[in-house]
Structure 1
Amino acid sequence: METHAEEWPLPGDPNQFVGARHHTVPRFYLEYWADTNGRIDVVEKPGGRRYTTVPKTASAETDFYTYIDLDGNPAGRMEQALGVIEAAASGAIGRITHPQSGQFPPPPDDKHEIATLIAFQKVRGKRQRRVIETLADFSMKIQLSGLDRNSSKRLLEDRRGHANQDASAEMADLVANLDRYSFVPDPNDHIRMMGMMADKLLDSLMRRHWYLCMFDEPILITCDEPVMLYQRNPSPLRGQGVGNADEIWFPLNPSMLLILALEPRPMPERFRGSVERAQLVNAFAAYYAYQNIFLNPQQSAIDAELLADAPLLQVTAPPEMILSDGFNRPLKNRTTARRRKPKRK
C-alpha cells in the first residue's frame, strides 16, 4: 500500500482524509434512497431500530480506511483512491438511471467503472474486515493449540530470538487458555488486501452478462453489503462466491436492479421486474446486511423476520469439529478493529 508521495498519481494531498469520516457505502449511492428533504432511513441490526439521518453520516466511520505507512505515519491514500473510483462510477450509474436519457447496456468504459465500484464494494466493508479478523483469530489458535513446552520455546525463539523463563510462562498460560483470547489483526491487513481482492473480482464481473431489471415503483431497499450473490441451488459443499454465483445483484436505486449473470438469460437486457422479484431482493438485502439496512423514509417497515443474520462464514467440517465463533453461526460480535485517532505531526 505504500507509495512515495512524489510517485502518487492522484492530485491533491491524500492525507487530508486522515481524521475524516470514511463511508463504507458511497455517499452518492445512498443519496438515491433519500427523500425530497435529503433524508434517508436506517434500520439497525440486530434489534431493528429505525431512524432517519442524512447520507453524509450514514455508513461512515472516522479513519476506517486510514492505514499506517512504512514510516509509521497515518496515510489517507486508500480513502482518496476510493473517492476517485466512486466519482467515476457515479457518472456511469447516473447515465443508466437518468429518468429521461437513461441508457443500457452501458458503453465499455462505463461498464468498467461500475464493475470496479462493485468489486471494491464487495471487499471494502465491515463484514469483510470482520471475516479477515475471524480467519486470523482462527488460524492463530490452530497454530498455538496443543503446543507443548518445547514447541512453545522454539516458537518464541523463532519470533523473538530468545525464550526466557517469564516469556515461556506467558506462552504456556496463553496456550492453556486460548478461548480467553482474541487475536485481532491491525486494520492495515484489510486495507492492504483490498486492491488485490478487488482486482481478482473485476475480471469476473466484466465477463458476466449484464441485465437491468426495472420496477414500476420505488420498491427496492439496500444495505451496507449491497453486492448480493444469488445461487439457485446453494450448496455448502461447493461454496458461493463472486466466481460461481448464478447472479450478482446490485440495486442501483429504489426502482432499478443491476443483474450480472454467469450465463446468458432468456430475457432482454432491459426488462420489467415483478413485485415478487423485488421482495426476494429485499429479503437478501435485509438478511446479508452487516449492521445497516437503508431505505427511503416513505418505504414501509422491514419485516422483523428478515432481520435474521447470515453466518459470517460457511465452513464445511466434520460434525465433531468445534468451529471458532462466527463460522456457520449468526453474528454475535459486529465490532471490527478500529484505528485509533492518529496524531497529526
Structure 2
Amino acid sequence: MTGHSRRQRDDEALRPTWIDELVAAHPEIDRDAQQWWKSTSPEQMVGSRHHTVPRSYLERFAQDGQLWVRDRVTGGSRLSPTTKTGVIKDFYTFINLDGEKDGRLELILGVIESGAKELFDRMLDPFRPPRPITPSESMHLAIFLAFQLQRTPQYRRMTELLGDFLAKTHNSDVPGIDQVRVVPEPNLHLEHMSKAAPRLSELFFDRPALIVTLDQPLFITCDEPVVLVTNGSSHVEHTAACFKTKNQRRKAARRPSRGRMRNADIVHIYPTRPPAGAAVEVALPLTPRTLLVLGPRGTIGPLAHSLAGAEAAAYAADVNNRLVEQAYGWVAAHPDHPTFRSLVFPPPGPLVRACDGGSKFSQDLDKAPSPRRPALLGRGWK
C-alpha cells in the first residue's frame, strides 16, 4: 500500500457516516442506545447457536422447514432443517470491556433481520402492488446487506488469514514462525464488522429496487447470498512494487536511498472477491422464484420484471453460478429444485492474496484456506 492510498483510507475512516450525522441531529438516539446497553444483560444469547444467514431468510427456500444442502468443497448433499443450517454456537459472542462473554450482538442482528424481513414480506406479497422502496425501507435493506456481507465464516476466516500473514511477515526472523498458525481473537472480526457496516451500508442506500420473477422455482442460495455484480473489469489495482521479485526487494532495501527502502517494503494485500464499492448492481435471491436486484443509484427502471421458459432458465443459471462460485461452506435449495443435485462446483480458491515478492507466507495465502473453518472464542469450531 502506498503512502497516498494509506492517507486516502485514513481520511475515509475519519469521515462521519450517516449514523454519526443522524445521532448528531438526534442526541436522544445515543441516549437510548446507551440505556439499552446498561439495561440489557450481556449473558443473553451466550452459549446459543447463532445463524450466520437468518433463519427467516432460509425458510423462504425450504419445504416443511427442510433445505437440500450441499457442501461447497466436496459437493456432498443432505437434507437439513433450517434450524440447523448455517448455525454456529457463540459465533457472535464477544468479550466485552469487563472481560465477560457478551451475546448482545446477536440481539442487534435480530433487530436488523426483522427490518429486512418486513420489507421482503411486503415486496413478495401478491396482494400488494409494486412500489418504490421508501427511504426507511432502503435504510433497513442497506444495513441488512452490509452486515450480511461481513457476518459470515468466510469473512472471519479472511480476517484470520490477514492476521496470520501480518504477524508472520513482521516476525519473519523468529525461528519456526512458518510452522505455526496465528489466529486473531473473534473480537477482531466482530469489532471490524460493527464499525464498518454503517459505512458499507451507504453503498447500498437509495438504490432503485427491482424484483425479478421466474415462471419456475430455479434460484438457489448459499452462506454468501449477497451477489455483487461489477462491470467486468478487475477490482485489483497493482502498484509497481507488486512486480518486484524477492531479490529485487532485498537489493533495494540495502541501498541508502530512503525512497528505495520505502518502495522495497510495500506489500499489496487484497481480497479476491470484489469490494462492495465496485458493485454496479447488487442481487439477493429471496425465494426460488424471485430475485431482488438493486440498480445503480440515480437510475430509474421498472419495479418488477418477469421471465419465462429458456430465458428464465438462463438467467437463473447465471445467478446460481455466481452463488456457487462465492459460497464458502454450503449451498442450499428447495428440496424439489430440478437441477440442484447435478450442479458442478468449481474448486474453491484463495480469499486473500499478497504481492510481496513471493514469500512463503504469500504463497500460503494464494490457495484455498486450510483449515476452512474459522476459530471461535480462542478455540476450534464447535
- The reply to whether TM is greater than 0.5 is yes
**Match of residue 282 from structure 1:** 320
**Match of residue 170 from structure 2:** 143
Give a deviation string over 1:203-229, Cα, whole Å, max 9, x none: 110143332222122110000001122
Q: Once the 2 structures are TM-superposed, how far is the Cα of residue 12 of structure 1 from its aligned partner?
A: 5.6
Conservation of the 8 A alpha-carbon contact between 2:42 and 2:104:
yes
* CA distance 1:281–1:6, shift in 2 (3 Å): closer
2:105 to 66, 73, 78: 78
Aligned residue for 1:204, secondary structure, equals coil
**Match of residue 298 from structure 1:** 336
Q: Distance in 2 between matches of 1:286 and 1:203?
A: 27
**Match of residue 23 from structure 1:** 51
- Once structures 1 and 2 are overlaid, which stretch shifts more, 49-58 or 300-309? 300-309
- Once structures 1 and 2 are overlaid, which stretch shifts more, 248-257 or 305-314? 305-314
TM-score w.r.t. length of structure 2: 0.74
TM-score w.r.t. length of structure 1: 0.82
**Match of residue 10 from structure 2:** none
Aligned residue for 2:352, secondary structure, equals coil
Structure 2 gaps of 5+ residues are 1-30, 238-269
Given the alignment of the two structures, is residue 270 of structure 1 paired with residue 304 of structure 2, yes or no? yes
* CA distance 1:32–1:325, shift in 2 (3 Å): farther
Identity between Structure 1 and Structure 2 (%): 31
**Match of residue 159 from structure 1:** none
Q: Once the 2 structures are TM-superposed, how far is the Cα of residue 242 of structure 1 from its aligned partner?
A: 0.4
Q: Distance in 1 between matches of 2:132 and 2:215?
A: 19
1:192-203 matches, within 5 Å, as 192-203=191-202
Q: Distance in 2 between matches of 1:331 and 1:220?
A: 27
Give a deviation string over 1:133-153, Cα, whole Å, max 9, x none: 00000011111113xxxxxxx
Aligned residue for 1:279, secondary structure, equals helix
**Match of residue 15 from structure 2:** none
Conservation of the 8 A alpha-carbon contact between 2:138 and 2:207:
no
**Match of residue 309 from structure 1:** 348
* CA distance 1:319–1:336, shift in 2 (3 Å): same
Q: Distance in 2 between matches of 1:188 and 1:62?
A: 15
Q: Once the 2 structures are TM-superposed, how far is the Cα of residue 285 of structure 1 from its aligned partner?
A: 0.8
- Once structures 1 and 2 are overlaid, which stretch shifts more, 283-292 or 301-310? 301-310
Give a deviation string over 1:273-308, Cα, whole Å, max 9, x none: 432121011011111111011110001334453343
Conservation of the 8 A alpha-carbon contact between 1:95 and 1:102:
no
* CA distance 1:6–1:195, shift in 2 (3 Å): closer
* CA distance 1:236–1:91, shift in 2 (3 Å): closer
Q: Distance in 2 between matches of 1:32 and 1:241?
A: 27
Aligned residue for 1:233, secondary structure, equals coil
Alignment-mate amino acid for residue 179 of structure 2: R
1:260 to 287, 294, 313: 294
**Match of residue 55 from structure 1:** 82
* CA distance 1:218–1:13, shift in 2 (3 Å): farther
Structure 1 gaps of 5+ residues are 147-174
Give a deviation string over 1:46-100, Cα, whole Å, max 9, x none: 1111111211111011111111111211111101100111112111111011233
**Match of residue 225 from structure 1:** 224
Given the alignment of the two structures, is residue 244 of structure 1 paired with residue 278 of structure 2, yes or no? yes
Q: Distance in 1 between matches of 2:45 and 2:61?
A: 26
2:369 to 312, 316, 331: 331
1:129-208 matches, within 5 Å, as 129-146=156-173, 175-208=174-207
1:118-129 matches, within 5 Å, as 118-129=145-156
Conservation of the 8 A alpha-carbon contact between 2:222 and 2:323:
yes
Give a deviation string over 1:259-282, Cα, whole Å, max 9, x none: 223366685232124321210110
Conservation of the 8 A alpha-carbon contact between 2:353 and 2:362:
no
Conservation of the 8 A alpha-carbon contact between 1:21 and 1:61:
yes
Alignment-mate amino acid for residue 320 of structure 2: N
Alignment-mate amino acid for residue 278 of structure 1: A
Alignment-mate amino acid for residue 228 of structure 1: V
* CA distance 1:320–1:133, shift in 2 (3 Å): closer
Q: Distance in 2 between matches of 1:250 and 1:326?
A: 32
Q: Distance in 2 between matches of 1:320 and 1:20?
A: 42
Q: Distance in 2 between matches of 1:190 and 1:16?
A: 20
Aligned residue for 2:282, secondary structure, equals strand
Aligned residue for 1:206, secondary structure, equals coil
Q: Distance in 2 between matches of 1:331 and 1:222?
A: 22
Conservation of the 8 A alpha-carbon contact between 1:312 and 1:326:
no
Give a deviation string over 1:4-38, Cα, whole Å, max 9, x none: x9732597645220111000000000000011x22
Conservation of the 8 A alpha-carbon contact between 1:14 and 1:80:
no
